[in-house]
Amino acid sequence: MSFFRLTLFTPLILTTLLAQTEKAQLTGNVTDSSQASVAGVQVVAFSTVTGTRRTVTTNEQGLYSIPFLDPGIYDVQVQKAGFRTLQRSGVKLDVAQTATLNFSLEVGSVSDQITVTAQTAALDTGSASLAHTMENQRIVNLPTNGRNSYGFAMLVPGVRASRGFSEVAYGMYNDQFVSINGSRPNQNSFLLDGGANSNPAFNGPAMFPSVDGVEEYKVQTNNYSAEFGNSAGGVINLVTKSGTNQMHGSLFEFMRNDKLIANDFFINRAGRNKAPLRFNQFGVAAGAPLIIPGIYNGKDKTFFFASYEGLRWVRGLITTGTMPTALERAGDFSASRNAGG
C-alpha cells in the first residue's frame, strides 16, 4: 500500500470576521496604593515574538479588557501621568484563555519604571471550563509513533481513545474515535484556528496538522462555555503556528525499512522472507515576517508560516493462519485441540 499526505498552512492576517474561539483575552483592574480605582490608564500588551502591540484604556472603574489576543508570551505595561510605569514580563496566554492581570500603581514620575519578571502562568479566572493545554514544547519533544499531533490528547485525564487515534493519520476511519469523560466517540468537537475541523461522518479530526505546524491545543473536557457548540463530549481546540519577526524553520525525515528490522517469528519459522517495508515521513516548516525588498516590510505587522509533510508508505501484509491436519481433512477430529489443550 502507498499513501501520500500534504499539509499546508499559510495564515497571514486574521480579522475579526473570523471565528474567535481560539483567541485569548486579558482582563483586570488598575488601582493606586490606597486601592482606589484609576481611570484613564493606558494598558499595552506587547507580543515578544511578533512585536505587535494592543493598547486599551481603563474605564471609570479602573477596568480594562484586551480581547482577541493570539496565544503566546506578552509583556504588559501600564502607565499614566503622575504614576510610575509598571511592566510585567513573560505573561503566557494559552488558547481560549481569559486571564486576569491586576496592577497597583505607585505615585511617581512616568519615567520611573518598575518591571516584574518571571511571572507564573496567569490563571483562567474568566472561565469555569475543565481543560488541559498541550504546549508546543511537549508536542515537539514527547515521543510519538507516526507524528500524530492529536495523539497527545490521550495524556489528558478522562480521555480514552482507540490505538489508531495516536498512530499515523492516513485514513479516515482508524484515527477518528476518542471518548472524553465517557461520551460516545462521535460526540466531540474539533476546532482548527477557530474553524470547525470535525469529520462529518464520524466527528473525528478532518485534518491532522503536522507536529511542526502546531503551536498548542486545549482539550476541554467539561463545563465549557456556550461558544463551543455541537458537542456532547469534549472540545479539542488547536492553534497552528504563525510567523514571527525571526525566521525559524525545520527539516525532518523519519524512516523505517525492512533492511533494518528482523523477520517476524512465525514467518521466519515458516521459511518465508520478510515482508517489504518502506516508510518515509518527511517535511519542512518555515515562518518569517513578510518582506518584499523595496516594496513592503512586514516586520511587527505581517507574517507567514508554511508547513509541508509527505508520507510514503509501502508495506506487505502477511496473514498467519492454521490449516487443517490430514485427519481433519478426512473428517476425524478426535485429535483436534482448542487453545486450552
pLDDT tens column, 289-330: 999 999 999 888 899 999 999 999 998 887 777 788 888 899
* Residue 19: predicted pLDDT: 45
Q: How confident is the model at residue 20 (pLDDT cuts 50, 70, 90)?
A: low
Alpha-carbon span 218 to 124, nearest angstrom: 13
CA distances from 73 to 31, 44, 45, 69, 93 (A): 24, 13, 10, 10, 6
Distance of CA 58 to the CA centre of its chain: 33
Q: Are 216 and 134 in contact (CB under 8 A)?
A: yes
Question: What's the sign of the alpha-carbon dihedral 107, 108, 110, 116?
Answer: negative
Q: Are 235 and 156 in contact (CB under 8 A)?
A: no
Residue labelled with grid coordinates 506487505? 316
- At 278, the amino acid letter reads R
Angle 140-229-138 (CA atoms, 0-180°, nearest 5)? Answer: 10
Q: Are 73 and 48 in contact (CB under 8 A)?
A: yes
What are the structural domains, with CATH classification, of the chain? 24-116 (2.60.40.1120), 130-240 (2.170.130.10), 248-315 (no CATH)
Alpha-carbon span 313 to 315, nearest angstrom: 7
Alpha-carbon span 289 to 304, nearest angstrom: 6
Other Cβ atoms closer than 10 A to 289 = 20
Other Cβ atoms closer than 10 A to 170 = 16
Half-sphere exposure of residue 143: CA atoms within 13 angstroms, side-chain side? 1
pLDDT tens column, 208-243: 888 889 999 999 888 888 778 778 888 999 999 988
Other Cβ atoms closer than 10 A to 97 = 24
> Which percentage of the chain shows pLDDT scores above 70?
88
With a cut of 80, say whether residue 111 has pLDDT above it: no
Report the candidate in 224, 40, 65, 15 with the shortest Cα–Cα distance to residue 131.
224
Q: What is the pTM of this model?
A: 0.76
* Residue 110: predicted pLDDT: 66
Q: Are 218 and 133 in contact (CB under 8 A)?
A: yes
Q: Are 178 and 148 in contact (CB under 8 A)?
A: no
Alpha-carbon span 332 to 50, nearest angstrom: 79
Q: How confident is the model at residue 21 (pLDDT cuts 50, 70, 90)?
A: confident
Average pLDDT over the chain reads 84
181: left (phi > 0), else alpha (psi -120 to 50), else beta?
left
Instruction: Reduce the DSSP state of residue 36 to 3 states and report it.
Output: coil
- Winning range, highest mean pLDDT, from 25-29, 119-123, 221-225, 299-303: 25-29
Provide the grid cell at 201.
461522518
